[in-house]
Amino acid sequence: MSAAKLKLELSDGKQVEVEHGISPHDLAQRVNGELADRAIAAKLDGEIVDLDRPLERSGRIEFLFEDDEDQDSLYVLRHSTAHVLATAVRSIWPDAGIGFGPPIADGFYYDFDVDSPFTPEDLEKIEERMKEVVAADEPFERREVERQEARELFSDDPYKLERLEEIPEGETISIYRDGAFVDLCRGPHLPSTGAVKHFKILHSAGAYWRGDERRAMLQRIYGTAFFEKKDLEEHLRRLEEARKRDHRIIGKQLDLFSIQDDVGPGLIQWHPKGAMIQFLLRRFLEDELLKRGYDFVYSPHIAREALFRRSGHLQAYSEVMFPAMESEGEKDNYRLKPMNCPFHMSIYASGQRSYRDLPVRYAEIASDYRNEKSGTLHGMLRVRGLTMDDAHIFCRPDQVEDEIYGMLDLVANIYGTFGLEYRLDFATRPAKRIGSDQVWDEAEDALRAAIERRGLTYAVDPGGGAFYGPKIDVKFVDAIGREWQGATIQLDFVLPERFDLNFVGSDNQKHRPVMIHRAIYGSFERFIGVLIEHFAGAFPLWLAPVQVRLIPVTDDFIDAAREVAVALREAGVRVELDDRSETVSYRIRDGELQKIPYLGVIGQREADAGTVAVRKRGAEKKQVVLPLAEFIEQVTAENRTRALG
C-alpha cells in the first residue's frame, strides 16, 4: 500500500490531506462528529461507496444522508434491503439460487431459483424473517477476493458463477457478508442491516434469468423501502390506488381493448369503445395540426432494408426490429417499420425545396412495430404494435425557435385539455456527439429561448441529449401523482445528412435543413392506457365512448326513448338505449359501473311532458328532470368545450 497522502475535496470546497486507506466514516468523524453519525454512505467523484470502504485515490468526496433530495440515498437503502430479503430467503430456503437484486424506480427486487413459486404465506414469512435480520443489525462487510476464492465460495450457485466469470480479468471482485449471507456484489450498502428501516414485500412473479426466455425461470420478489414511515405509507396508499385504476382491469370492465394469444403479446385489439376514444383523440389532434400548418402524409408499414440501412436503424436499432421478410426475386429483404422518420425523410427528399417552402411539417398517425422483449410488455403501456402521433419538421436554423415555441403551445393546449400538469426536461449536448459546437450552441439557445418565451420552468439534464441533437421531454403527472413520459421534441443533425436533405437558400446555394422529431401523445396505446388510469375509466364527456344511456322504465316507453335517442344522435351525441328487461335500478347501477356521463330515465311522466329524468355521473343531486331541448343543449355544450366534468 502506498504511503502517499490523499487529497480530498469536501462538498464545501475545503481541501483535506489524509492518509491513504482512510474510510469515509473516519474522515467524517475527523471533520465533524455529527456528520459521521448522520452519513449513510459517501460518494467519491460521483461514485457511491460504503462508509467503511478504504479510500484509495484522491478526489471529491460527498456524504449521503437519509433526507437527501435525490435518489442516491434511497438507492443505497433499497439495494441494502434487497440483501436483507436474500438473507431472509436463504435462511428459510438454504438451497435457493440467487440472481440479481437491484434497486429500481420505486423499490427493489431479488430473483431466486426455488422449486416452486412463492405463495402469499411465503411472502409473509419472508417479511417476518427480514424483520429479524434487521433486528440482528449485522454489519455489511465488504471484502475483496481472488477469483478462485470467489469460485469456491459460490460453487453451489450457478447464477453467481456465471456473473463471476463475466467480471473482466484485473477488475476487483468484491463480496459482501451480512451474518450468514454472502453475496457477490459491487455494493454499495448501508453500514449494517439495522440501518434498514421501513420496508414492505409487495408481490412475486416469474422472471427469466436475464430476461431470456430460453433460460431458467426464477421467482422475483418485489419490495420497497423508505427512510420514513410516512413515506412508506404514502407509497403503499398510492400503490393501492393504482391497483384500483389498473387500465387492464378497467379496460376489460368497460370493454375497451383486449390482448389475445392468437394475435400475439403486446398487440392491442381496440374494441369499439376503445377505438372511439382513439378516434376522438386523433380528431382532436388532427384538427389542431391543420390549424397549425401541418401537412398529413401516409407511409407504408414495411420497407426494404435499404431504407433502414440508410437511416441507420438497421445498424443501431436492429434488436427491436422484427426479423426480415423476403419477397420473391428481390435481393433486398423487407422489414416492418419501427419508426417513421426514414419515410418522412424520403418524402422530403423527393423534390426541390426552397427556403420559402420551409418550414415543412409532416404529420402521420402511424403504426410502428417493435420487437420488445416479452417480459417487458405491460398492457397498453408497453406494447409491440404502437400507433404514434408522429411528426417531422424541416426548417431553417433561424426558424427553430418559433417551431419549438409552436410545439410547446400545442403541448399546452392538448395536455391542458386533459387537466394534466407537466414539466419539461431539457437534455443538452453529451460528450460524444456529432455536429460542431456552433451548431449545438445555436440549437440549444433556440430551445431555451422558446421555453423561456412560453414562461415555462424546466430542468436541465446536462449531457443527457442524444449524440445527434438536444431534446425536450415533457413529463406529466396523473391524478394519483405518478409521473409519466409524455411529449418529446428531438432535434436531429444526423438524419438530414444521411438522406442528403437540402433546400435552396436565398443565396441560391444548397443548405441543410434542421430536422425536428416530435410526438405529442407519444403512442395512443400508452397515452390512452395512462388516461384510463388517470380518469379511473370516468372519461370526460367529450372522450366518453357512450355519452348518454337511455333507460325506459318499462317496455311501454321504448318508443318514447327511441325518439329521444334520435334527437340526441342528430345533435351529435353518442347515445345508447338500454331496453333490457331488467329493473330500472339494476340498469342505473350498470350505467354507473360503465361510468357513462349521463343516464336518462324515461317513464310515463317524461313521455307525456317531453322531458328526461337526467342522472349526471358524480353529481350531488341524484336526478333532475329536464326538457329534452335543454338536456341536449347541456350535453352538447359540455362536449364542445371539452369540459373536464
Please enumerate, by residue number, every residue annotated as part of a binding site for Zn(2+). Answer: 341, 392, 517
Rama region for 541: left / alpha / beta (φ>0; ψ in -120 to 50; rest)? alpha
Span near Zn ion by CB under 5 A; candidates 327-335, 338-346, 563-571, 626-634: 338-346
Span near Zn ion by CB under 5 A; candidates 112-120, 254-262, 340-348, 404-412: 340-348
Helix (H, G, I), strand (E, B) or coil at 68: coil
Beta strands in 445-502 (DSSP E): 458-461, 471-477, 483-492
Nearer to Zn ion, 192 or 636 (CB): 192
Closest distance between Zn ion and the C-beta of residue 584, in Å?
Answer: 53
Nearer to Zn ion, 345 or 564 (CB): 345
Helix (H, G, I), strand (E, B) or coil at 112: strand
Nearer to Zn ion, 61 or 363 (CB): 363
Nearer to Zn ion, 88 or 546 (CB): 88
The closest of 234, 525, 219 to 366, measured between CA atoms, is: 525
Closest distance between Zn ion and the C-beta of residue 366, in Å?
Answer: 10
List C-alpha distances in Å: 404 to 26, 423, 448.
51, 15, 9
* 580, amino acid identity: R
Span near Zn ion by CB under 5 A; candidates 21-29, 208-216, 283-291, 333-341: 333-341
How many other CB atoms are there within 10 angstroms of residue 560's CB atom? 20
Residues in the chain: 645
Closest distance between Zn ion and the C-beta of residue 189, in Å?
Answer: 6
Closest distance between Zn ion and the C-beta of residue 344, in Å?
Answer: 7
Q: Does 517 bind Zn ion (CB under 5 A)?
A: yes
Nearer to Zn ion, 99 or 597 (CB): 99
Nearer to Zn ion, 220 or 517 (CB): 517
Span near Zn ion by CB under 5 A; candidates 32-40, 210-218, 246-254, 510-518: 510-518
404-463 residues near Zn ion, rule: CB under 5 A: none
Span near Zn ion by CB under 5 A; candidates 258-266, 268-276, 516-524, 528-536: 516-524
269-308 residues near Zn ion, rule: CB under 5 A: none
Closest distance between Zn ion and the C-beta of residue 467, in Å?
Answer: 15
Taking CA 79 as the corner, what is the angle to CA 476 and CA 481, rounded to the nearest 5 degrees?
Answer: 20
Span near Zn ion by CB under 5 A; candidates 194-202, 341-349, 540-548, 576-584: 341-349
Nearer to Zn ion, 341 or 365 (CB): 341
Beta strands in 419-478 (DSSP E): 421-427, 458-461, 471-477
**How many alpha carbons lie under 13 Å from residue 514 in its C-beta half-sphere?**
25
**Taking a C-beta distance cutoff of 8 angstroms, is the pair 159, 20 a contact?**
no
Closest distance between Zn ion and the C-beta of residue 545, in Å?
Answer: 31
Helix (H, G, I), strand (E, B) or coil at 540: coil
| Residue 80 neighbours by CB under 8 Å, 6+ apart | 140, 189, 190, 193, 195, 196
Nearer to Zn ion, 43 or 517 (CB): 517
Annotated binding site: 341, 392, 517
Span near Zn ion by CB under 5 A; candidates 54-62, 210-218, 291-299, 513-521: 513-521
Closest distance between Zn ion and the C-beta of residue 490, in Å?
Answer: 7
Closest distance between Zn ion and the C-beta of residue 63, in Å?
Answer: 20
Three cell numbers, residue 435 = 455536429
Span near Zn ion by CB under 5 A; candidates 141-149, 229-237, 349-357, 511-519: 511-519
Q: How far apart are CA 177 and CA 136, in angstroms?
A: 13
Three cell numbers, residue 53 = 470502504
From residue 171 to residue 210, the character string flagging contacts with Zn ion as x (rule: CB under 5 A) and all else as - is --------------x-------------------------
In the set 74, 341, 391, 614, which binds Zn ion (CB under 5 A)?
341
Q: Does 78 bind Zn ion (CB under 5 A)?
A: no
Closest distance between Zn ion and the C-beta of residue 339, in Å?
Answer: 6
Closest distance between Zn ion and the C-beta of residue 392, in Å?
Answer: 6
Supply φ then ψ for residue 239, to 5 degrees. Answer: -60, -40
Supply φ then ψ for residue 140, to 5 degrees. Answer: -85, 105
Bridge partner residues of 613 (DSSP): 601, 625
Closest distance between Zn ion and the C-beta of residue 188, in Å?
Answer: 8
**Taking a C-beta distance cutoff of 8 angstroms, is the pair 482, 530 a contact?**
no
| Residue 499 neighbours by CB under 8 Å, 6+ apart | 310, 311, 342, 345, 346, 348, 349
Nearer to Zn ion, 44 or 185 (CB): 185
Three cell numbers, residue 599 = 343516464
Q: Does 245 bind Zn ion (CB under 5 A)?
A: no
List C-alpha distances in Å: 96 to 87, 100, 151, 177, 181.
11, 13, 17, 17, 12
Q: Measured in whole angstroms, how far is the alpha carbon of residue 24 from the centre of its chain?
A: 36
DSSP state of 543: G
Annotate 66-104 with b (16+ C-beta within 10 A) or e (fewer): beeeeebbbbbbbbbbbbbbbbbbbbebeebbbbbbebe
Size of the site for Zn ion (CB under 5 A): 3
| Residue 295 neighbours by CB under 8 Å, 6+ apart | 360, 361, 362, 363
Closest distance between Zn ion and the C-beta of residue 341, in Å?
Answer: 3
Three cell numbers, residue 371 = 420487437
Closest distance between Zn ion and the C-beta of residue 113, in Å?
Answer: 18
Span near Zn ion by CB under 5 A; candidates 336-344, 444-452, 593-601, 613-621: 336-344
The closest of 199, 193, 31 to 107, measured between CA atoms, is: 199
Closest distance between Zn ion and the C-beta of residue 101, in Å?
Answer: 7
572-611 residues near Zn ion, rule: CB under 5 A: none
Q: How far apart are CA 94 and CA 84, in angstroms?
A: 14
Rama region for 116: left / alpha / beta (φ>0; ψ in -120 to 50; rest)? beta
Nearer to Zn ion, 84 or 341 (CB): 341
Q: How far apart are CA 29 and CA 13, in angstroms?
A: 18
Nearer to Zn ion, 81 or 399 (CB): 81
Nearer to Zn ion, 177 or 382 (CB): 177
Nearer to Zn ion, 84 or 185 (CB): 185
- Residue bearing cell 414469512: 125
Q: How far apart are the first and last CA of the chain?
A: 71
Nearer to Zn ion, 150 or 341 (CB): 341
User: Under the rule (CB under 5 A), what is the footprint of Zn ion?
Assistant: 185, 341, 517
